[in-house]
Amino acid sequence: MEFGEAKEKFISTWGSLGTLWGINKAMAQIQALLFVSTQPLSMEDIMTELKISRGNTSMNLRNLMDWGIVTKVLISGERREFFTTEKDVQELAQIIAKERSRREIKPVIKVLEEVSSIEDDGSKQTQELIKQTKALKELANDMDTLMNKLIDQKQNWLTKSVFKLLK
- pLDDT one-digit tens code per residue, 38-91: 999 999 999 999 999 999 999 999 999 998 999 999 988 989 999 999 998 878
The CA-based dihedral angle spanning residues 75, 25, 109, 115, taken in that order and rounded to the nearest 10 degrees: 140
The rounded distance, in Å, linking the Cα atoms of 57 and 75 is 20
pLDDT at 144 over 90: no
Q: Is the pTM of this model over 0.85?
A: no
Average the pLDDT over 3-14 and give the result: 91
Which of 45, 43, 51, 4 is closest to 26 using CA atoms?
51
Q: Is the distance from CB of 144 to CB of 113 less than 8 angstroms?
A: no
Q: What's the number of CA atoms in the CB half-sphere (13 Å) around residue 160? A: 5
The type of residue at 122 is: G
